[in-house]
Structure 1
Amino acid sequence: MRHIETDTGTNVNISSATAVGAYTADADRLVIVDVMIDAVAGAGDYVMYVTKQINGSGSAYKILPKTTMTAATGETAIAGQSGIISVKSGDVLTCYVDGLAGDTTTPDWTTRWFEIDKLVTLADDAVTEIQSGLALEATLTAIKGAGWSDETLVAIKAALDALDKSGVAAAVWAYAARTLTQSAAAVAAVLAGSDITIQRGDTATIALTDVGALTGYSKIWFTVKSRKNHSDTESIIQIEKTGGLLYLNGATATTTSDGNLTVNDEATGDVTIMIKAAATADLDPGVYYYDVQLLTSSGVTTMTTGKFTVEGDITRAVA
Structure 2
Amino acid sequence: MKAVLARRHGSPESLVVEDIAPLQAGPGEVIVSVHASAVNFPDTLIIENRYQFKPALPFSPGGEVAGMVKQVGEGVQGFAQGDRVIAVCGWGGYAEEVRTVPEKLVALPAGIDMEAAAALVITYGTSHYALKDRAALQPGETLLVLGAAGGTGISAVELGKLMGARVIAAASTDEKLALCRAHGADETINYTSEDLRERIKALTGGRGVDVVYDPVGGSYTEPALRSMAWRGRYLVIGFTAGEIPKPALNLVLLKGCSIVGVFYGGFAQAEPVRYQAFMDELVGWLAQGRIRPAITERYPLEQAAQALRVVADRKATGKIMLTTALGRGEG
Higher RCO, Cα 8 Å, sep 6+: 2
Q: Which has the higher strand share?
A: 1
TM range (shorter): under 0.3
TM-score, length of structure 2 as denominator length: 0.17
